[in-house]
Chains A and B, each alone.
Chain A
């Protein structure tokens, strides 16, 4: 199975963040590359969802769902949905606009 992209996990991201996140900006903590979440590389084979940087390949986010509970690892991100990366979805742009931890 080929990689897909961040568009494919829009529903999962709404489950986790309570907001449309595919149009949100992201910054890789390893190489500093910034791009919309929709343009990140997403692998969905295996037990979880792995999101990688399209520039350097580093793991940015991992989601694993078991029995309706989703474990989330954002350690590869320097920022997510940072100011200036307009959340252009139909939902409350106030959500998901905070910086996530870098390490």
Chain B
């Protein structure tokens, strides 16, 4: 498909898939190379469109996993019974093509100038835009302190585990596992709540800037808990992706 960028319009373009990386049993990261990508901001997403042989089209939004300036990548979780994610996670191979458009979103984004300290809360694959933010923070040399609390079902469900384990230099990473822990697990267990956040989150007096992404129920609970701890609502940015996915 030939594309001509029109100011103020999003144009579908055909991107080559340059690599497929399996992150967990149900999650892959796809590196893609659209011909006319204008760049993106940390936290933004893009839309993917699949077209069936009979012309039926399905569109989905996926958070961008890479930092601005890195090769564009999305991380996709397979949803059983889904129309799009089973294809993206099981069928797609490097060298295949994918229709996409973006970047999209100007709210759930972070720039070093926005400051912090950053309080990042991820439920399941809600980690994806927060990973872009953490990478952007690192790549720009920002010294804004950051804490991440990542809620996942089990340890093997944790996406980017190796990368997150290597975080240092002002980034603290904590997990809570909701459906089972490995022997000797020393971090948190159970679903996120205000008591858990009271021990993990920056105190409100530090004027933190919070980003919460995950399934709707996770985001609602986490946002209410932070506001309950004294975070001003306007300093708590949220992104909900529905009931799908686990955390």
Contacts and interface: CB of A to CB of B under 8 A. Distances in A.
Contacts, number: 84
Contacts of A20: 104-106
A22 interface: yes
Given A22-B105, A88-B107, A4 B10 contact: no
Q: Which of B9, B38, B217 has the most CB of A within 10 A?
A: B9
Contacts of A91: 7-8
A7 B117 CA distance: 23
B215 interface: yes
A11 B101 contact: yes
A1 B242 contact: yes
Given A7-B45, A19-B8, A2 B217 contact: yes
Chain B interface size band reads 20 to 34
A22 to B, nearest CB: 4
B216 A7 contact: no
Nearest to A36: B107
Interface stretch (B91-99, B196-204, B233-241): B233-241
B164 interface: no
Given A4-B216, A5-B239, A8-B61, A88 B106 contact: yes
A95 B9 CA distance: 12
A22 B8 contact: no
Q: Which of A1, A18, A22, A92 has the most CB of B within 10 A?
A: A22
10 contacts: A5-B238, A7-B240, A10-B106, A11-B101, A11-B102, A19-B8, A20-B104, A22-B105, A38-B238, A90-B41
